[in-house]
């Protein structure tokens, strides 16, 4: 079986036009701009329209990534969609995008790994490309988190926004020194699943009148405990994935963490000893977009011209599950 490098050959992202500011939220729940900014770093977030579902957001990001990679939908062998807000239980969101984008030759499936979804999706794509089974895989992270937000809960409704990001994974050129997706570490701590979950809507608890009255069809979160787990877990996963990649902390050019809360990002960066100018931040503009957050940040870093050939990117995600995921990517564009 062959083993070849897998690289990101194209990226894209999309966020809805509507902006919900902290001042807007002051009209909805008892909160203030000062409290939200000081506790989360978030100043605004994007909100999808009633007519938009996760697949609509993902399609925009996916088309942008395909254009960036210089390939068409017919070239795709697979579409992997990371989302916790699928259009339906089935058909899954990846199937919907496969049809609408015109990827007639592509397999398609969803990953429900919460905020680590983009890392998990890249890991899956690397396996198929590295072994020679497939040539072009589109990884899309698309979330309409406002569809599962309890707008009466001031502790959570200030956090979330909607958006999508995407990447095309293809074979690299060993002769050109391509190494691409260098290393991954994926971890699960299911015993902490209660810290971030949606109680109703699955086979365990259907959505009935009682569930709706209790907002159990919406996201529930125990923020302080989640904060402690994330701040402790990010450095641990980072150390493992950097070691697996065969590099040192001094070799990391960019750090893209899941954009959940600026306090988590700052605390983890300090524990890692990574300078602030190497840490990518966009939580202030978009809030927490779950699986889409790191994908959007990667696309923005690229579009702004800050990424250089050979740069090492550390990506670390944490969230629902409780899951942790880390990746080291050597930029080969």
Could you give the C-alpha distances from 58 to 14, 47, 48, 95, 162, in angstroms and in order?
A: 8, 14, 12, 12, 11
The bridge status of strand 181-188 relative to strand 323-330 is: antiparallel
Cβ-proximal residues to 147 (8 Å cutoff; 6+ apart), any chain: 48, 85
Residue indicated by tokens 């062998």? 77
- 115 included as an active-site residue: yes
Annotated catalytic residue, options 81, 115, 157, 218: 115
pLDDT for the residue 174: 84
Spatial contact of 59 and 166, defined as CB atoms under 8 Å apart: no
pLDDT for the residue 327: 98
N- to C-terminal Cα distance for the chain? 26
Cβ-proximal residues to 73 (8 Å cutoff; 6+ apart), any chain: 66, 101, 102, 103, 104, 106
- 282 included as an active-site residue: no
pLDDT for the residue 2: 54
pLDDT for the residue 177: 74
Annotated catalytic residue, options 95, 261, 282, 288: 288
pLDDT for the residue 1: 43
Rounded to whole angstroms, the Cα distance separating 272 from 294 reads 18
Is the sign of the CA dihedral 285, 291, 294, 297 positive or negative? Answer: negative
Spatial contact of 322 and 229, defined as CB atoms under 8 Å apart: yes
* Global confidence as pTM: 0.97
Could you give the C-alpha distances from 311 to 99, 221, 238, 268, 300, in angstroms and in order?
A: 35, 35, 17, 21, 15
- 81 included as an active-site residue: no
pLDDT for the residue 333: 74
Residue indicated by tokens 């239980």? 89
Beta strands in 15-122, from DSSP E residues, in sequence order: 18-21, 44-47, 78-82, 107-111
Run means of pLDDT, 10 residues per run, the chain, 333 residues: 85 98 97 97 98 98 98 98 97 98 98 96 97 98 98 96 98 84 96 94 94 94 91 94 96 97 94 93 98 98 96 95 95 87
Annotated catalytic residue, options 258, 261, 282, 312: 258
**What domains can be seen in the chain, in order of their start residue?**
6-173 (3.40.47.10), 181-330 (3.40.47.10)
């Amino acid at each position: 079986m062959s083993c070849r490098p897998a690289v990101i050959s194209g990226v894209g992202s999309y966020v809805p036009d509507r902006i919900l500011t902290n001042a807007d939220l002051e009209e909805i729940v008892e909160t203030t701009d000062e409290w939200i900014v000081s506790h989360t770093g978030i100043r605004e977030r994007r909100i999808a329209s009633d007519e938009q579902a996760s697949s609509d957001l993902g399609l925009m990001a996916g088309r942008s990534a395909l254009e960036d990679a210089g390939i068409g939908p017919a070239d795709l062998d697979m579409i992997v969609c990371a989302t916790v807000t699928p259009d339906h239980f089935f058909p899954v969101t990846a199937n919907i995008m496969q049809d609408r984008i015109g990827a007639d030759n592509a397999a398609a499936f969803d990953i429900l790994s919460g905020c680590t979804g983009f890392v998990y999706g890249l890991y899956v794509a690397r396996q198929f490309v590295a072994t020679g089974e497939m040539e072009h895989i589109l990884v899309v992270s698309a979330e309409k988190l406002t569809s599962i937000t309890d707008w009466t809960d001031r502790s959570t409704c200030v956090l979330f926004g909607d958006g999508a990001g995407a990447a095309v994974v293809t074979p690299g050129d060993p002769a050109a020194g391509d190494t691409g997706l260098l290393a991954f570490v994926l971890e699960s701590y299911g015993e902490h699943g209660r810290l971030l979950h949606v109680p109703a809507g699955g086979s365990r608890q259907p959505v009935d009148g009682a569930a709706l009255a209790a907002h159990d069809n919406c996201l529930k979160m125990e923020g302080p405990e989640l904060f402690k787990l994330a701040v402790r877990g990010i450095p641990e996963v980072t150390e493992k994935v950097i070691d697996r990649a065969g590099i040192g902390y001094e070799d990391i050019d960019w750090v893209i963490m899941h954009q959940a809360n600026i306090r988590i990002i700052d605390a983890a960066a300090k524990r890692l000893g990574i300078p602030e100018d190497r840490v990518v931040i966009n939580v202030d503009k978009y809030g927490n977009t779950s699986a889409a957050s790191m994908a959007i940040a990667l696309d923005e870093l690229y579009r702004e011209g800050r990424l250089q050939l050979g740069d090492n990117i550390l990506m670390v995600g944490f969230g629902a599950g409780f899951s942790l995921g880390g990746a080291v990517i050597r930029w080969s564009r």
